[in-house]
Amino acid sequence: MGHSTRTDEELPVIVIGAGPVGLAAAAHLLEHGIEPLVLEAGDQPGSAVAAWGHIKLFSPWRYNIDAACRRLLDAAGWSAPSPTKLPTGHQLVEEYLQPLVRNTVLAQKIQFGALVTGISRGGRDKTHAAARRGAPYQVRVDTRGASADLHARVVIDASGTWLQPNPMGAAGLPALGEKDPSVEQHLLGALPDVLGTARPRVGGKRVLVVGAGHSATNTLLNLAALKREEKHTEILWAIRGESADRSFGGGVSDGLPERGALGQRLRRLVEAGHIQVMTSASVQRLCAAEPDGVTVQFTDGRAVTVSEVAAATGFRPDLEVLRELRLDLDPGVESPTQLAPLIDPEFHSCGTVPAHGVEVLTHPEDDFFVAGMKSYGRAPTFLLATGYEQVRSIAAHLAGSDPTPIDLHLPETGVCNAGDPDHAEDPHALAVATSDAPGAEPAMIGVSTGLQHGRSGQ
């Protein structure tokens, strides 16, 4: 597609991602009379959420529904779920996101199968700031193998972090051998459905879970439920810290009671010997092992051979797609610089972040915003309600209305452990998890509706 002939006022606001925050952005823009175009790489709304659909959120429905989206749904005769119930990822998609796309005007504003591979503006690279200033954005999209350039007057990146997991290596680099095909076939991902689709790979096998956040906890609890049925299942848990105590959480001190109970269930399983904990265990190398497994070597010389590995080490933002934009990102957290002090896991692990909006999300590129989980960079404990307030503020700003953040009165999402980054929760705490599988105790865990986030909290 050549350079757009439409005036800037006629160009849409492109929203990247049709997850909960991306759809909320589109709904708020429509309420202000601003035309959105939502580009979703998957084939359905909330494609990333569906990938961890077996997980239950620790935040109840009342925190997971955006106000503008609800107004669209109510007008379409939607029957809202109970505000106090905890939805699974599948329920979030099937009972909220799919009706939103199927039964409202948003159905006409979304392109599925549209993968954004790059963003620039003004027909010049980012070294030509003056020549690009005020020019439309050029958004390159791969739609089922065919590439095209779309143009927008504003871009809101709400693509999340789900597809960009942190590596297992403690230094932020992949462990040696981690990318070898013979090893990758034994890696389960961050939130495998060990009671469902992944069960044939883990039932009765020796399995290693790497990580100290809620994603690890969820997998450990579900593996323990599997072990009750397939008694030969052996569960190993590797963490970098000297103790697992902080992974057990704050119990009754947690602002979300279901999440507080999560760690206590894990503690009981560890104390009963159902889960073998390896502390001070930083992964250094992985190599294929005969007849069918992988050997994991740690920096202190220890090694274990297992059938499968679940690396729940968090996520990080995909910044390559934004390479041709002038961004103001914190060098460590990789979130907008003004947001970083509020969420940096080097100092904060409780997730109690004040409501914020356009005032901390701006970049040198005017009218470009990163929202939702991706805005948190590598920091953890993101809540959907926080993302909803971000996009409400951005839409108000674009419409010339008051973008001042609204006090959300959210519960604390954990118990603060300032200054201990190795125990910072994984970034996908926007959703917590439990399993509804027969015989399984609810397992709460952090997950995300997006993509990248994450600090490697082993």
pLDDT at 352: 65
Map out the domains of the chain as residue ranges.
13-163+316-398, 181-312
* Extended strands (E) in 153-264: 154-157, 206-210, 234-238
Q: What is the mean pLDDT of residues 253-276?
A: 81
Residue 455 clears pLDDT 50, i.e. is over it = no
3-state secondary structure of 370: strand
CATH topology of domain 13-163+316-398: FAD/NAD(P)-binding domain (3.50.50)
- Asked whether 434 and 442 are in contact (CB, 8 A), the reply is yes
pLDDT category of residue 59 using cuts at 50, 70 and 90: confident
More reliable by pLDDT, 38 or 259 = 38
Residue 93 clears pLDDT 50, i.e. is over it = yes
Tokens of 262: 């999560």
pLDDT at 431: 38
Pick the closest to residue 78 from 101, 46, 48, 47 (CA basis).
Answer: 101
The predicted model scores a pTM of: 0.87
pLDDT category of residue 95 using cuts at 50, 70 and 90: very high
Helix (H) / strand (E) element for 137: namely strand 137-143
- Whether 13-163+316-398 and 181-312 share one fold: the answer is yes
pLDDT category of residue 429 using cuts at 50, 70 and 90: very low
- Taking the C-alpha atoms of residue 274 and residue 277, their distance in angstroms, rounded to an integer, is 10
pLDDT at 453: 29
Q: What is the mean pLDDT of residues 386-390?
A: 95
Residue 294 clears pLDDT 60, i.e. is over it = yes
Residue 146 clears pLDDT 60, i.e. is over it = yes
Residue 355 clears pLDDT 50, i.e. is over it = yes
Pick the closest to residue 409 from 383, 391, 445, 378 (CA basis).
Answer: 383
- Asked whether 48 and 19 are in contact (CB, 8 A), the reply is yes
pLDDT category of residue 454 using cuts at 50, 70 and 90: very low
Architecture of domain 181-312: 3-Layer(bba) Sandwich (3.50)
Cα–Cα separations (whole angstroms), residue 270 to 165, 257, 314, 424: 26, 21, 22, 20
Q: What is the pLDDT of residues 309-344, one digit of tens each?
A: 999 999 999 999 999 999 999 999 999 999 999 998
Q: What is the pLDDT of residues 393-403, one digit of tens each?
A: 999 999 999 88
Residue 105 clears pLDDT 60, i.e. is over it = yes
Q: What is the mean pLDDT of residues 398-424?
A: 63
More reliable by pLDDT, 3 or 43 = 43
Percentage of the chain exceeding pLDDT 90: 73
Q: What is the mean pLDDT of residues 173-199?
A: 96
